[in-house]
Chains A and B, each alone.
Chain A
Amino acid sequence: MAPDESAPAATVRAKLEDVNPAEVGAFYEREMPRLVLFVTLSTGLDVHAAADVAQTAFEKALSRWATLHHPRAWLYRVAHHEAIARSKALRREVPVDVVPDHPDHLSPALAAELRAEQREVMARLRGLSPNQCQVMTWTLAGFSDAEIAGALGISTNAVKQRRFYARRILAKRLASTPEGSR
């Protein structure tokens, strides 16, 4: 699944000639919002930072588009790693005379766009442990257990186990706020 990262630049340029802009554009418009939401939920970055991460992942994917067998999975993996690096960099940022912004569990901008009920579900997802949240986010994005295991570097059994406990916690927490009650 992983492309050849050391492909010579000339080869990459040559393969770019084969890229169909309409195909890539349609893929971008379909996957960009999903990828941004995925990054936001899985790492806690706000929507603006997540959009930047997603755009970066698309740029990287475009340069090796012809070599990607599963561009969607590759894209989400790259975005996931980029977002984690970005989150760490954000934590390392040294405060100056202004207070750095610590992203909320749910981006305020995204929260404003969502209905109360969906906001509750998203907040509960973000309230899971990081491992459980990652597995749930990958699952919601439509990836199989094997793909999730490959992306997170864990076994499929671990994926199933984390999802089981995550679902149990979510069911318990969401039961206190039944659908349509908010």
Chain B
Amino acid sequence: MSRLSRARHRAHDDDAELDARLARAWEDGVAAVAKMLDLPAGRQALLAGGGRGTAGAPASAAPAVADDPVPGHAAPAPPAASPWPGSRRPRQRRRLAVRALAAGGAVAALAAVTVAGVTGAFSPGQAPPVRAAAFITRVKDALSPPGENLVGYARTTLPPGTAIVPTVGGWAMTERPGKGSPLTAAALITWTYHNDMTASAFTGSGRPVFAAQVTPARHGTTTVAVNYTDSTWWRAVITLEPGFRIPRQPPCAPGASPGAGGWPAFIRGELSCGVYRAGGRQWVDGIDAIRLTGSRGLVLWISPATYLPVRQADGGQQTDFRWLRATPASLARLRVTVPAGFRAVAPPPLAGPKRAGLSETTTR
């Protein structure tokens, strides 16, 4: 064999070897990507709403929570500064917004009534097409059981000058209370587990303002609130009369707020509106988070590992999330203890208009 033909033969072998390596790498890459994707969920989302020019809720397939949803969410820590220092989205200012805790139906009903009365009509607008269907499906799955078996921690940074008071089944917030309000708070911390929720408000210096625990039961909801500003506490039980139907707070309404189910249910509802779009990646609290931008100024960052929310920003408010395993220690954060020496007082009247089917029992 001549030198030239040997060289050609060797070149041909090299080409074949390169082709084989490239082909193997491609097929292995395809297999690796297939393992990373939730193909049945994506397929269902595509056939349910995609390509038809309507938003619709991407269909949620079987829950696909990542193997270990807790890393990256384990240690609640103070959030970083607001991503939009000094900037506020123009919006209809709410004089009073009642944020219902994750209590039972009575609380949700009251919250729905009150928020509707304050912010206007519940008219979900024309939702744009879902363009982040794959992500949104995963976020919704992560927020569904067994995702909700995690204990959720949320810290909301409130706009300066926000006053907040505990109410039966929730809390009431006033953004312009006037100077010298004793209940001005800078941060609100909530712990949620299924429908149980505890909320605590703090001043900018870390002094507690109030703590409230809301525990739903089959036919009612119990609220225990401790007011640290005047060293008082109260307990109220709302019971549902037989046949009372709970009006659901419609998602996507202007000014909609967490209702029954807390933040996970609220975010799930917002995602169902199809208002979020994928907007790249950003580092949030050490997590290379996926950014979803909503049409009403909402921005949601989710963990690419767990698809659980890391942060939500809404105008001047910013909420940071952590997700913990349900352990005795984390579940203990859902209990409010009345300090010794605090004086029991009557609870405030029900927020919003009185509704038939609800009755309030006050106990101490």
Contact = CB atoms under 8 A, between A and B. Distances in A.
A61 B290 CA distance: 25
23 contacts: A29-B40, A32-B37, A33-B33, A33-B34, A33-B39, A37-B33, A48-B290, A49-B281, A51-B134, A55-B133, A58-B51, A59-B50, A62-B51, A96-B83, A101-B283, A103-B281, A110-B36, A113-B35, A114-B29, A117-B25, A122-B29, A179-B17, A179-B21
A127 B357 CA distance: 68
A interface majority secondary structure: helix
A29 B280 contact: no
A52 B51 contact: no
Interface of B: 14-15, 17-18, 21-26, 28-37, 39-40, 42-43, 45-47, 50-53, 80-81, 83-85, 129, 131-135, 278-284, 288, 290, 304
A52 B37 contact: no
A171 interface: yes
Contacts, number: 155
Nearest to A108: B288
Contact of A118 (B29, B42, B46): B29
B15 A167 contact: yes
A63 B51 contact: yes
A130 interface: no
Contacts of B80: 97-98
Contact of B22 (A55, A101, A121): A121
Given A100-B281, A118-B28, A9 B304 contact: no
Nearest to B23: A140
B interface majority secondary structure: helix
A89 B25 CA distance: 29
Given A52-B278, A118-B25, A174-B18, A101 B51 contact: no
Interface residues of A, number: 57
A135 interface: no
Closest 6 interchain pairs by CB? Answer: A62-B51, A113-B32, A59-B50, A121-B25, A101-B281, A33-B34
Contacts of B36: 47, 109-110, 113
Among B21, B32, B34, residue most surrounded by chain A Cβ atoms (within 10 Å): B32
Contacts of B35: 113
